[in-house]
Structure 1
């Protein structure tokens, strides 16, 4: 489904914005990038700012017109400020747009179209779209960089896809760290008790203090790696002598 969602950049002026937009796309699972008559492409700056999404830049298709870029799409959403003079359906909320776009992408290609950095899409280009969408922003300063706009709308699209019934989205999960054995914990607590006695922190057996510390570490549930770090700290303290 995400493979059917196309990002179209029209006459991008700065090649770095192509790379930054590709990076924004890849973080949200989008891979289909089409460039309409970019001023300068390919360009090393585009690859540099892709920062891990160089494959999207390398595979980007360059076409000569917006018509060519979206000819096979069943829905084309132009990202722009709302133009009431054009009778296009307009999404005031990007989330609503994303749900519709993702629904159509289940069967056919769809496109999100972004205009030039300086003045966006022309009226004629917006007329080539089936819908418009705007990004709500601070009314006193609603200016987004091209790649920022791509990131915002790509995120909404990814969220809409992720929350669909039957989505195969699986978040990346860190590999759980191994927990220490009871024997390793016993050795640690015995080591801690020796260091506390030797340091003068405890001048006589304090069962309550030791049990409280044992309870503290039980709540913390240190991993084997963390327990080894603590043992190293205790060993370093044992080796320290006054005047060292």
Structure 2
């Protein structure tokens, strides 16, 4: 579905913005980049500022008109900071636009179109769009850099996609940030009990100290890395002759 969502940049002046836009796309799972008459492309600055998204820059298609970039699309949304004298449907909240775009992308190509850095899209170019969208911003200074605008709308699209049940999206967590297993927790509590007994901290068998500490750690929900740090601390405090090697 995300592969059907196209980002179109019209007459981009600074090649670095192409690279930064590609980087913004890749962080949100978008891969289809089309450039309409860029001032300078290919360019080393575009590649350098892609910072890990060089593959998108290398695969970007260059065409000579907006019509050529979007002719196969069933929905074309022009990003515009201001309303134009056109009777196009207008989204002043990008999340609603993103949900519709993602729904259409399930079966057909769709496009988000961004204009020039200084003055955006012309009215003639917006006539190739089926809708307009703007990004809510400070009314006293609502100017976004081109790549920032791409990032915001790409995020809205990615969010709309991952909220669909069929996306199967599961956030990736580093192994050390995952919750510990019950076995790891049991080893930790046994280690804690051993150190408390060896230190003389546990002197009253019926004080429910261990139970209260277990409840404390259950509420804290330490990660595997945090549990490992705690066990390292216990090992440093534990007398050598009581260690369970």
Question: Under a length normalisation based on structure 1, what TM-score does the superposition of the two structures give?
Answer: 0.81
3-state DSSP class of the match of 2:232? helix
Shift of 1:120: 1.0
Matches within 5 A, 1:53-68: 53-68=53-68
Matches within 5 A, 1:128-143: 128-143=128-143
Contact 1:37–1:65 (Cα < 8 Å) also in 2: yes
Contact 1:82–1:133 (Cα < 8 Å) also in 2: no
Contact 2:88–2:131 (Cα < 8 Å) also in 1: yes
Given the alignment of the two structures, is residue 172 of structure 1 paired with residue 171 of structure 2, yes or no? yes
State how far apart, in whole Å, the 2-side matches of 1:222 and 1:94 are: 37
Residue segments in structure 1 that go unaligned for 5+ positions in a row: 240-244
Distance 1:139 1:223, change over 3 A: closer
Matches within 5 A, 1:102-181: 102-164=102-164, 166-174=165-173, 175=175, 176=178, 177-178=180-181, 179-180=183-184
Distance 1:92 1:186, change over 3 A: closer
Contact 2:35–2:60 (Cα < 8 Å) also in 1: yes
Report the more deviating stretch, 134-143 or 229-238.
229-238
Distance 1:93 1:227, change over 3 A: closer
Matched with 1:205 is 203
Shift of 1:111: 0.9
Shift of 1:188: 3.0
State how far apart, in whole Å, the 1-side matches of 2:125 and 2:69 are: 12
State how far apart, in whole Å, the 2-side matches of 1:77 and 1:181 are: 52
Question: Under a length normalisation based on structure 2, what TM-score does the superposition of the two structures give?
Answer: 0.81
3-state DSSP class of the match of 1:167? helix
Contact 1:192–1:234 (Cα < 8 Å) also in 2: no
Distance 1:223 1:194, change over 3 A: farther
Shift of 1:6: 0.6
Matched with 1:82 is 82
3-state DSSP class of the match of 1:62? strand
Distance 1:84 1:115, change over 3 A: closer
State how far apart, in whole Å, the 1-side matches of 2:234 and 2:26 are: 46
Distance 1:57 1:192, change over 3 A: farther
- Root-mean-square deviation (Å): 2.7
Residue segments in structure 2 that go unaligned for 5+ positions in a row: 240-245
